[in-house]
């Protein structure tokens, strides 16, 4: 195993590591309770066919009874490993540590409340990356598990592209519930930023990949099925809106936008927060974003990835901004809209 800078986690159950020889893909699943859904996600990953793979489950603090259920699911397995991390590192930090456990040339992250749509979804994701070397990540189509309909709560692209959800197009981000990244590109871009904890970590990684001259490719024919459950998500009334606003402002600062230029975005977030009853979270997010930015230092050798090139700006304009319309349309669609699962007041 290549653990990079991270300490070796506690091995709980399953194989000590992948068998020797070729490994096409590591499937990483983060666990924190939700044992029934996580066991199903593990079974779905282990059932993938057509390639050499290993499944890594990184637990971030499940209750003992739930950890025991996960251990039972991989007991004696040669194709899956359950480890326990030292604490809850969130989505960004957890994925970094789970990715570092493996050696597969591709890393597929699967949410613990999602399952692969077909037995060859993983193999087709790897094939898609192999076919186009300038693609850093494959963004899967996210479907509602129970119905097969679009999971609108997981649509991370301009609304105007929703009618093309079954097609393929270049994008500037991907959705965390199911995606594949070439390991070499993940490492070259420095992985995820631990400081984000959760929210916007995929976009942050994508910006660095795009700055390096690569693409993010959405594939509507490669899907995962997501068990959408509002009570299992971070509630907007808890910390979710805080992280959403803080991380988006912090990312813009990291890539060179000034505080003055970001003021309109910050104020727009406050309007949306007020309409959705979470104004306090949004107000706290501004100073928190500035604090993260002041502490941020690009990793040695990766400084250029945080300076947006003309080619990267053009890519973002063509594949995102061009689909969002003018300011009035964006205000209606983004600033004045209710948050998913909430009704604006």
Predicted pLDDT at 102: 95
How many degrees, rounded to 5, is the angle at CA 84 between CA 7 and CA 232? Answer: 125
Listed residue (122, 120, 209) closest to 170, CA to CA = 209
How far is residue 305's CA from residue 336's CA, in Å, rounded to a whole number?
Answer: 33
pTM above 0.75, yes or no: yes
* Residue 326, pLDDT score: 72
Tokens matching residue 143 = 């479907």
Instruction: Assign 174 a pLDDT band (cuts: 50, 70, 90).
Output: very high
HSE, CB side, 13 Å, CA atoms: give it for residue 265: 19
State both tokens at 2: 């290549």
At 1 the pLDDT is 37
CB 180 within 8 A of CB 129: yes
Specify the residue for token string 């936008």. Answer: 257
Half-sphere exposure of 82 (CA within 13 A, CB side): 27
What is the C-alpha separation between 129 and 143, in angstroms, rounded?
Answer: 21
* Tokens matching residue 311: 């080619």
- Beta strand segments in 204-327, E: 215-226
Structure confidence by residue, pLDDT tens digits, 189-224: 999 999 999 999 999 999 999 999 999 999 999 999
Residue-level length of the chain: 345
Question: Alpha-carbon Rg of the chain, whole angstroms?
Answer: 20
Query: By percentage, how much of the chain surpasses pLDDT 70?
Result: 91
pLDDT in tens, 266-287: 999 999 999 899 999 999 999 9
pLDDT at 96 over 90: yes
Going by the DSSP 8-state scheme, the letter that residue 150 receives in this structure is B
- Of 96, 236, 95, nearest to 153 by C-alpha is 236
pLDDT of 306 over the 80 cut: yes
Strand partners, 28: 56, 109
- Of residues 274 and 228, the one with the higher pLDDT is 274
Domains within the chain, CATH numbers bracketed: 12-232 (3.90.550.10), 236-335 (no CATH)
């Amino acid at each position: 195993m290549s653990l990079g800078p991270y300490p070796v986690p506690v091995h709980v159950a399953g194989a000590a590591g992948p068998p020797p020889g070729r490994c096409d893909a590591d499937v990483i699943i983060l666990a924190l309770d939700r044992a029934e859904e996580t066991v199903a996600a593990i079974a779905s990953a282990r059932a993938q066919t057509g390639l050499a793979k290993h499944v890594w489950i990184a637990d971030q603090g499940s209750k003992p009874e739930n950890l025991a259920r996960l251990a039972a699911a991989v007991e004696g397995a040669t194709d899956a490993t359950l480890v326990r991390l030292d604490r809850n590192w969130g989505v960004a930090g957890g994925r970094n540590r789970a990715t570092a456990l493996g050696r597969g040339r591709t890393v597929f992250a699967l949410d613990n409340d999602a399952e692969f749509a077909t037995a060859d979804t993983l193999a087709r994701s790897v094939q898609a990356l192999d076919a186009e070397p300038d693609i850093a990540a494959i963004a899967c189509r996210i479907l509602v598990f129970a119905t097969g309909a679009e999971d609108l709560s997981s649509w991370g692209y301009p609304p105007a592209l929703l009618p093309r959800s079954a097609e393929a197009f270049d994008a500037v981000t991907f959705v965390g519930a199911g995606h594949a990244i070439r390991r070499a590109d993940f490492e070259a871009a420095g992985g995820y930023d631990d400081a984000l904890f959760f929210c916007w970590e995929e976009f942050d990684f994508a910006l660095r990949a795009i700055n390096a001259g690569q693409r993010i490719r959405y594939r509507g024919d490669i899907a995962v099925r997501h068990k959408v459950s509002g009570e299992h998500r971070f509630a907007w009334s808890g910390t979710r809106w805080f992280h959403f606003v803080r991380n988006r402002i912090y990312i813009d600062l990291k890539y060179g936008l000034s505080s003055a230029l970001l003021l309109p975005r910050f104020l727009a977030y406050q309007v949306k927060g007020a309409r959705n009853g979470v104004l306090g979270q949004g107000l706290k997010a501004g100073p928190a974003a500035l604090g993260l930015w002041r502490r941020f230092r690009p990793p040695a050798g990766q400084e250029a990835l945080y300076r947006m090139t003309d080619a990267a700006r053009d890519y973002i304009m063509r594949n995102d901004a061009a689909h969002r319309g003018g300011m009035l349309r964006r205000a209606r669609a983004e600033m004045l809209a209710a948050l998913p699962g909430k009704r604006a007041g």
